[in-house]
Structure 1
Amino acid sequence: MNLNLIKLQIVELLHKHKKITTVAAVLGLKQPTVTYHLKNLEQQLGEKLFEPRMDKMILTESGRAFLHYAVKINALATEAERVVKEFSQAGRSTISVGASYVPATYILPKILGRFGELHPETTVSLSVKPSPVIKEMLVNQELDLGILSTESFYLPSLHCQSLCEDELVLVFAPAHEFAGQAGLTAQQISAAKFILHSSQSSTSRITSKWFEDCGCEPHAPLLLDSLEAIKQSLMGGRYVSFVSRLAVAEEVSSGKLIMRSIPEYHYQRRIYYSYNRDRHLSPPIGFLIELMQAACR
């Protein structure tokens, strides 16, 4: 069976764009050519991969199963081409890094600056996304390296190693009523006006677990998806929130915010680096990992 790459690319792109005309434009092919390749692939497999609905092409159950492997093969082919090309570009290379917000903002800037000084021939492309998105991108081989703030996880295709702890703390302003109280209880905290994080973040998941384990509900919650917006709102003195200790270190040091340990906190969140075991681990990537390990010691 001849499953050439163009057929696999068509499957992935048609799932993304839902229209054969769009896929043809992306690939620089004529629409009948795309249709021919798709029908030929379906004949080879003996299964329908797509079915028309209204004016869109939608994956069948068989198509969904096939897409899983098409994405992996397409990513491997792209990676193989990229790695080979680097050998003909006088040592120049690009590293694609994905990071969740805390490591991207409070750990990586100095490390990437140092890396740029030592490896000026290597370009680093950084994508800042929630941890679940970074994991998915790593699995799909869309990234060389991921740095995530999350609870421990295991995915068979990923190598994962801890860099440092990323503890959550209770944070509020000096003007908040909690500033003059010692030994805060879970009941007191849950009764305060609370800022919740974006539902995609690991902070949100741990916060939800804490409220659930304490048998409480957040009071008058405010939902924000920006950590900087959360910190600015906390400085107003009305709200409290659970925030990464790393993220508020500067504000606590300058007296703009106060942090306290969270009572009945039984969770462990760490910063990990991770990469796909099937992806080529070039020397610059290895050196970037060594810089991160040294910085986090």
Structure 2
Amino acid sequence: MNLNLIKLEIVELLNKHKKITTVADKLGLKQPTVTYHLKNLEQQLGEKLFESRMDKMILTESGKAFLHYATKINALAAEAERVVKEFSQAGRGTLKIGASYVPATYILPKILGLFGEQHPGITISLSVKPSPVIKEMLASHEIDLGILSTESFYLPDLHTQALCEDELVLVFAPSHEFATFSNLNPAMIASASFILHDKASSTRQLTDKWFEREGNEPRTYILLDSLEAIKQSLMSGKYVSFISRLAVEDEVARGRLLMRTIPDYNFQRHIYYSYNRDRHYSPLIGLFIDQIRTLRI
């Protein structure tokens, strides 16, 4: 069976854009050529991959199963091409990095600045996603390197190394009633009005674990998916939140927010770098990891 890359690319693009005309434009092909490749692939597989609904091409159940592998193969093919070019274009290339919010906002800017000065020919592509998504992107070869804040984890396909601890602390405004207490017990904290992070974030997951272990849950809360929005909302003096120490050090130093150690908190969370073991350890990955290791966080 000849499953050439153009057919796999058509499947991925058609799922994204839903129209054969758009796929043809993206690939620089004529519409009948795209249709021919798609029909030929379906004949080879003996399964219908797409069906037409309301002038859109929609994946069938067989198509959804096939798309999973087509996406992986396309990513590997693109990765292979980039890796080979790295050797023929010394000092040039593209490095795809995925990072969760804390390292992307409070660690990577300094590193990216230094790296750009030392390697001006290298282009960095940065995707900011929750840690679970970064792990999935690494496993599917969508990115070369992940920088993520999470609890310790093990995935057989990923090489992972801790860079520094990423401790959670209780944060509130100087005008909050907690500011007058030097020690806060779990019952006091559980009774406060909380700002909670998005459910997909590792901070929210650890917050939920703390409440579950204490046999409580937040009594009143609001949900925000932006750490900067959370910090601004805390300054009103009405709410508290669990936040990465790295993310609030500046506001605490300027007296705009206060932080306290969370009682009965014994979870371990770190900033890690990670890459897929099956991906060739290219010179670009090595250069960037060296840059991370030399920077004091």
TM-score under structure 2 length normalisation:
0.92
1:132-187 Cα shifts (integer Å, max 9, x gaps): 22222222222111100112233333222211111111011121111112331222
Residue 287 of structure 1 corresponds to which residue in structure 2?
Answer: 287
- Does structure 1 residue 163 correspond to structure 2 residue 163? yes
Identity between Structure 1 and Structure 2 (%):
74
Q: Residues of 1 paired with 2:254 and 2:85: CA distance?
A: 49
Larger displacement relative to structure 2 (93-102 or 215-224): 215-224
Letter in 1 for 2:125: S
Contact 1:194 1:218 in 2 (8 A): yes
Q: Residues of 2 paired with 1:154 and 1:13: CA distance?
A: 32
1:103 Cα deviation after fit: 0.7
Q: What's the C-alpha RMSD, in Å, of the aligned pairs?
A: 1.9
Q: Residues of 1 paired with 2:31 and 2:94: CA distance?
A: 34
Residue 103 of structure 1 corresponds to which residue in structure 2?
Answer: 103
Residue 122 of structure 1 corresponds to which residue in structure 2?
Answer: 122
Residue 242 of structure 1 corresponds to which residue in structure 2?
Answer: 242
Q: Residues of 1 paired with 2:278 and 2:15: CA distance?
A: 24
Q: Residues of 2 paired with 1:125 and 1:20: CA distance?
A: 29
Q: Give every structure 1 segment of 4 or more consecutive aligned residues whose post-TM-superposition deviation is greater than 6 Å.
A: none
- Does structure 1 residue 251 correspond to structure 2 residue 251? yes
For residues 52 and 147 of structure 1, do their structure 2 counterparts lie closer, same or farther at Cα, with a shift above 3 Å needed?
same
1:69-121 Cα shifts (integer Å, max 9, x gaps): 21111111111222233444453122121111111121112222222232222
Map 1:1-297; keep pairs closer than 5 Å.
1-296=1-296
Larger displacement relative to structure 2 (174-183 or 112-121): 112-121
SS at match of 2:295: helix
Letter in 2 for 1:7: K
Q: Residues of 2 paired with 1:121 and 1:25: CA distance?
A: 30
SS at match of 1:237: coil
Contact 1:164 1:296 in 2 (8 A): no
SS at match of 1:174: coil
1:296 Cα deviation after fit: 4.8
Contact 2:14 2:57 in 1 (8 A): yes
1:13 Cα deviation after fit: 1.3
Letter in 2 for 1:278: D
1:192-243 Cα shifts (integer Å, max 9, x gaps): 1111112221111211222222222223212222211211221221110000
1:17 Cα deviation after fit: 2.0
Letter in 1 for 2:155: L
Q: Residues of 1 paired with 2:155 and 2:56: CA distance?
A: 33
Contact 2:91 2:119 in 1 (8 A): no
1:271 Cα deviation after fit: 0.9
User: Which sections of structure 1, spanning at least 5 residues, go unmatched?
Assistant: none
Contact 1:163 1:296 in 2 (8 A): no
1:261 Cα deviation after fit: 1.4
Contact 1:100 1:134 in 2 (8 A): yes
TM-score under structure 1 length normalisation:
0.92
Letter in 1 for 2:70: A
Contact 1:166 1:245 in 2 (8 A): yes
User: Which sections of structure 2, spanning at least 5 residues, go unmatched?
Assistant: none
Larger displacement relative to structure 2 (77-86 or 99-108): 77-86
